[in-house]
Chains A and B, each alone.
Chain A
């Protein structure tokens, strides 16, 4: 019981630290903070997805990415989503294939809310970077992850896997 309590306290400390670093960096260096977090995310995505079999299928690649997160105990799980008027989950747009993603449990959102920081900041860009890195490894293609809506209980994002 004491160990779990200590782990919980350590986790809370780490969250305060993470939130403070992100918020401080944003204030100190402005928009570059997002680039730094993005690159950290890319490195993480590439590192964790090493050895994942390559595929050209977006849905398979997303399932593999989800598995990578799950295997590493990252609380960043997501699901593809389509609205009632959308014909398919994957839509072909001019810039590439587009999938809407819903993120529910998210350690970043929890950290931000817990300590009163705003959403859509540099830490959220780390997620963008993570996907870019992972999909570069798995699909060999560039991608972008745009935050359409940052909600209290879920976030809605648009993933575009750019045409090769």
Chain B
């Protein structure tokens, strides 16, 4: 799985919230365009905080591991039997 992260230029307003929240410094501000850009996509851990915080929904991820909603997962519910 090779994660891809994209900032859609037409949606980005350059508010820098993604730059502030990213723990691995994936983004930087393109001073000329006044837009946030991906500079180290390989460092993205897919926490998705940037996607959630972006006011214009400009950030999208592809090919990443989405966490299991384990309370909906039948296999996991079966495994939990010993704890309940």
Going nearest first, the 7 A-B pairs with the smallest beta carbon separation are A151-B47, A149-B23, A153-B48, A154-B47, A73-B79, A7-B77, A151-B49
Q: Which size class do A's interface residues fall under?
A: 20 to 34
A152/B52 in contact, CB under 8 A: yes
B71/A152 in contact, CB under 8 A: no
Nearest-neighbour CB distance to chain B for A12, whole angstroms, equals 5
Count residues of B near A (Cβ-Cβ below 8 Å): 33
Chain B contact residues, majority secondary structure: helix
Q: Which residues of B contact A75 (CB under 8 A)?
A: 68, 70, 76
- 0/1 interface trace, chain A 115-152, chain B, CB 8 Å (1 if under): 00000000000000000000000000000000011011
Q: Which residues of A contact B76 (CB under 8 A)?
A: 75
Task: Give B68's nearest chain A residue, CB to CB.
Answer: A105
Q: Which residues of B contact A15 (CB under 8 A)?
A: 71
State A51–B12 Cα separation when bound (angstroms).
53
Nearest-neighbour CB distance to chain A for B65, whole angstroms, equals 5
A73/B80 in contact, CB under 8 A: yes
Q: Which B residues from 20 to 60 make CB contacts under 8 A with A?
A: 21, 23-25, 40, 42-43, 45-49, 51-52
